[in-house]
Amino acid sequence: MTKLDFGKLFASLKALDYRKLLSDYGNVLVLLILCVVMSFATVKEQPATSPAAAEELASLVLSENGKGAQVMVLVRGGKKGAGPKFAKNLERSLEEVGLNVVANVQGSPRDSRIALRDHPKDQPLAAVVTDQHIAVFCAEQLPGLAKENPALAQSKRYSPTKHTWPVFLKIDNLRNVLKQIAVVAVIAIGMTLVIITGGIDLSVGSLIAFSAVITALSIDHLGGTDPTTSHLLLGSLAGVVACALIGMGTGGLVTVFKIPAFIVTLGVMFIARGLAFLCLEKPNGLPIGNEEAFKWLGSGADFGLHNSVVLMLILYVLAHIMMSRTSIGRYVYAVGGNPEAARLSGVPVKRVLVFVYLLCGLLAGLGGVMTASLQMSGDPKAGNLVELQVIAAVVVGGTSLAGGKGKIFGTLVGALIIGVIKNGMNLASIEGKKQDVIFGTVILIAVLVDQLKARLR
Amino acid sequence: MNLKKFFLTSIAMGAALLMAGCGGSGEGDAKSGSGGGSGGGDASGSGGGDVSAGPSGSNEVKGVIAYTPQTLSNPFFSVIGDHLRAEAEKNGYEVLMVDPDYDVKKQSEQMDDFIVKDVTAIVLVPCDRIAVGPAVKQANDAGIPVFTVDSKCAAEGAKIEGHVGTDNFQGGELAGQAMIDALGDAGGKVLVLDLKRANSCVLRVDGFKKVINAHNEGRTSGIIDIVAELDGNGDNTKGYQSTADALQAHEDLDAIFAINDPSALGAYAAVEEANRQDHIKIIAFDGMPEGKQAIKKGQIFAEPIQHPDKMGRQIVQLIMKYQAGEDFTQETLIPATLYTKADADQDPDLK
């Protein structure tokens, strides 16, 4: 029986069309390779702050100082910092083994200094246990402090052991990568549709700024410095709708007057950017009130991932369904493949075109609201050159600029590739201008490969 | 064919990343050279032995100071960076320098990366004083102290531990005084090239106007009249355009105050084109090498200069005080000083 199953499995594996698989999912592989390379490029010695490391450290302190010895825990603070988490584990482990934790200080070096200075002079402190930041402080300052407070004279210093781990693969960093591409990836959905129809939209970067400014202004008008949640929603809606209308106008100019999309959107790009600046008195961002509520979209994280990332994923699923299961999706491909043939076979070409530009504008507006939420302000400088990143994501994702071909999920992978490259290069401390060169090279390679694929088919 | 695609792509990516890797490690080597010296003598002395299982502080880098200015392509910020690095390495810290290219989104993402890297401190020149706020708050939440240089952060609730900047208002007053010296008793018509989006530059114009208004008070002749205030965008191109336009509108222009060197040099190009360079006096601001050179050549009359070298060093000194848990004054303003042709003629840096 088992032999037979293996045979079948082998046969089915053999039957798989690897070429097609690679063609369809080639960029997923590229993404994985990139992730591996970035992991190796960012391997670094880091302090071990896991519960296990805390236990290990506690038993070391115990073995050298004996039960009941007085110890102090000192770490760098921060509401969501790594220090307090480590301190909590540390305190538990130290008390479990029978040491006496007299203080658990989480804050700046100054807080540590005060705690050490104020430690009772008649109770010798056996040890201070710190994270790697406060360890530096203690190494430099403890001798001096000991002169003022004799209880510190015999204090030994302990800090965590080190382990080697790629910075890139830290959970926080992977979440950052997703958060950083969310805006680009959302707009790239609209851009994919536009490019599949054979067009282009250069205005999305400026629309981000326009939407962010309209959103901030509307919220300011509705609720002043202390807007309610409904003010925030209405303001955001205003930003999105304004950009959707602009997108519709763009689509109209492209279809009715048959002006090339490149030209129309170039014009809209300048107009929207200029309007964004004109709407505000100062070129600084206009702050948005009610931070607790408004930051939900940009930097909130209710589902493990950031909310903006969840929104992005939902939009991708919806767009995928639209493009693969509905007639509008087939129309978009048809218009891009051969507009004349599409028209003759009854596809409402003009309406489809207006729709894709409207959708692209709408998503750019949404991207603007996301940006405003990330920055808690409407910044007319926002979204500078983002249009090029969006186009890059679409192209790297395998959509042909000639139109007619492209996949929604390919674009998501394209956006991820761009995000991973940028993040990895930042983590590897590569200088800015070198980053530009590498980034440009990767885009060129992607397009080159696309061309080769088309020619060899 | 598709296999070919895959191989081509992966090879190319590999090559690109290899380049990346080389760049990274090269930089690392350059940094690791220093930083050993100062952490040395801690184990001896009264504070008890160092039994730490981890960093002993003797040969290791004590931490990382991350620097994100508005851009590194403006020499002003790279000079701050160079001196920041020198001072930090003297104290045993590594410096991580990145370039957000005036883009606050990029700057915020760089701050995210600093947090992931768990750096010791962040030195920031905000690309936008409001929009950078959430990124600063995230650093606050991670317990990483944030310091600003040159420009301040004005976002509500964002905690900045310390600031070092130029006293721009005082610098503007110096510029106003230089303008009075340049025009003498005759007075004249003045064009101001401003940059309203930068708060520092607004202060310069305010200080300038204060001195000019005080000069004009009660005078009937020899008044210094600011006939136009145009956007110079702080760059050469726009400085040139705005000045060329102003020269059309005001044929009898006598002097120009530009809020920085690049826009002043643009203004000079326009003045030269109109062949008015013998009459129109230009006062600039900054003290970049190009600006000083122009003063030596007599193209610019004089300018208050900033001291980015001091800024870079003093911000690190603040961080060291923070690290030692000492008290320090939160804000240090470094006075600008006036730089004239006499200074330029004796400046050993100019040839």
| CATH label of the domain that carries residue A60 | 3.40.50.2300
Q: Tokens standing for B178?
A: 């230089």
Q: Which of residues 314-333 of A touch B (CB under 8 A)?
A: none
Contacts of A383 in chain B (CB under 8 A): 105
| B326 or A428: which leads in pLDDT | B326
Sheet of B224-231: strand order equals B224-231, B188-194, B255-258, B281-283, B302-305, B337-340
Dump pLDDT digits (tens) for B266-286.
999 999 999 999 999 999 999
Q: Which of A143, A160, A177 is the last residue of a domain?
A: A160
**Residue A9 falls inside a structural domain:** no
Lowest mean pLDDT among A340-344, B253-257, B347-351: B347-351
Over range A390-405, report the average pLDDT: 89
Nearest to B50 among A64, A81, A139 (CB): A139
CA distance A397 to A195: 12
Residues A133, A224: one domain?
A: no
Contact A285 B197 (CB under 8 A): no
Contact B325 A141 (CB under 8 A): yes
**Residue A299 falls inside a structural domain:** yes
With H, G, I as helix, E, B as strand and everything else as coil, classify residue B288: coil
Over range B218-242, report the average pLDDT: 91
Q: Which residues pair with B93 in a beta bridge?
A: B63
pLDDT at B248: 94
Cβ proximity of A396 and A446 under 8 Å: yes
Q: Tokens standing for A304?
A: 């493990």
Most confident of the ranges A49-53, A109-113, A444-448: A109-113
pLDDT at B1: 41
The mean pLDDT of chain A is 89
Judged on CB neighbours under 10 Å (0-12, 13-18, 19+), B41 is exposed
Long-range pairs, A314-319, Cβ under 8 A, ≥24 = A315/A186, A315/A189, A315/A363, A316/A185, A316/A189, A316/A408, A316/A409, A316/A412, A319/A189, A319/A192, A319/A193, A319/A408
Angle of helix A171-196 relative to helix A386-396, nearest 10 degrees?
Answer: 80
pLDDT at A9: 67
Dump pLDDT digits (tens) for B83-115.
999 999 999 999 999 988 888 999 999 999 999
CA distance B158 to A445: 42
Residues A334, A428: one domain?
A: yes
Q: Is A54 on the interface with B (CB under 8 A)?
A: no
Cβ proximity of A210 and A448 under 8 Å: no
Q: Which of residues 146-185 of A touch B (CB under 8 A)?
A: 146-147, 152-162, 167, 170, 172-173, 176, 179-180
Contact A33 B10 (CB under 8 A): yes
Residues A224, A94: one domain?
A: no
The mean pLDDT of chain B is 84
Residues A177, A269: one domain?
A: yes
A389: CATH:
1.10.3470
**Residue A123 falls inside a structural domain:** yes
Q: Which of residues 20-49 of B touch A (CB under 8 A)?
A: 20-21, 23-24, 27-28, 39, 42, 45-49
**Closest Cα partner for A246 from A145, A361, A378, A371?**
A361
Is 70 exceeded by the pLDDT of residue B147? yes
- B166 Cβ contact list (under 8 Å, min separation 6): B150, B200, B306, B307, B311, B333, B334, B335, B336
Q: Total domain count for chain A?
A: 2
Dump pLDDT digits (tens) for B178-203.
999 999 888 999 999 998 877 889 99
pLDDT at B29: 35
**Residue A1 falls inside a structural domain:** no
C-alpha distances out from residue A100 to A103, A127, A153, B248, Å: 9, 10, 18, 81
* Residue listed under structure tokens 């209710």: A302
Residues A285, A424: one domain?
A: yes
Residues A126, A180: one domain?
A: no
**Residue A24 falls inside a structural domain:** no
Q: Which of A160, A191, A220 is the last residue of a domain?
A: A160
Percent of chain B with pLDDT over 90: 65
Q: How far is B297 from chain A (nearest CA, A)?
A: 33
Residues A307, A423: one domain?
A: yes
User: Where residue A18 falls among pLDDT bands split at 50, 70, 90?
Assistant: low
Contact B132 A154 (CB under 8 A): no
User: Where residue B81 falls among pLDDT bands split at 50, 70, 90?
Assistant: very high
Percent of chain A with pLDDT over 90: 55
Q: Is B197 on the interface with A (CB under 8 A)?
A: yes
Percent of chain A with pLDDT over 70: 92
Over range A259-285, report the average pLDDT: 90
Over range B60-68, report the average pLDDT: 91
Q: Tokens standing for A219?
A: 């919220």
Q: Is A15 on the interface with B (CB under 8 A)?
A: no
User: Can you list the alpha helix ranges (DSSP code H) found in A97-150?
Assistant: 109-117, 132-148
Nearest to B134 among A286, A375, A427 (CB): A375
pLDDT at A20: 64
Over range A90-101, report the average pLDDT: 91
**Residue A418 falls inside a structural domain:** yes
Domains of chain B: 61-160 (3.40.50.2300), 168-305+340-346 (3.40.50.2300)
pLDDT at B199: 80
Closest chain B residue to A449 measured between Cα atoms? B5
Contacts of A144 in chain B (CB under 8 A): 47
Residues A423, A349: one domain?
A: yes
| B271 or B348: which leads in pLDDT | B271
Dump pLDDT digits (tens) for A301-314.
888 889 999 999 99
User: Where residue A66 falls among pLDDT bands split at 50, 70, 90?
Assistant: confident
**Residue A15 falls inside a structural domain:** no
Size of interface A-B (CB pairs under 8 A): 296
Q: How far is B283 from chain A (nearest CA, A)?
A: 25
Contacts of B145 in chain A (CB under 8 A): 108
Residues A421, A287: one domain?
A: yes
Q: Is B143 on the interface with A (CB under 8 A)?
A: yes
By DSSP bridging, strand B121-124 and strand B93-97 are unpaired
Q: Which of A129, A160, A191 is the last residue of a domain?
A: A160
pTM of the full structure = 0.81
Interface test with A, best of B1, B10, B13, B136 (most A CBs within 10 A): B13
* Residue listed under structure tokens 């965590």: A160
Domain containing residue A286:
169-456
Contacts of A154 in chain B (CB under 8 A): 48
Residues A214, A113: one domain?
A: no
Q: Is B110 on the interface with A (CB under 8 A)?
A: yes
Residues A264, A367: one domain?
A: yes
Give the CA dihedral B297, B299, B305, B311, nearest 10 degrees.
Answer: -80
- B342 Cβ contact list (under 8 Å, min separation 6): none
Contacts of B118 in chain A (CB under 8 A): 46, 82
Residues A198, A85: one domain?
A: no
Closest chain A residue to B156 measured between Cα atoms? A287
User: Where residue B37 falls among pLDDT bands split at 50, 70, 90?
Assistant: very low
Contacts of A287 in chain B (CB under 8 A): 130, 133, 155-156
Q: How far is B5 from chain A (nearest CA, A)?
A: 6
Is 90 exceeded by the pLDDT of residue B322? yes
User: Where residue B58 falls among pLDDT bands split at 50, 70, 90?
Assistant: very low
**Residue A41 falls inside a structural domain:** no
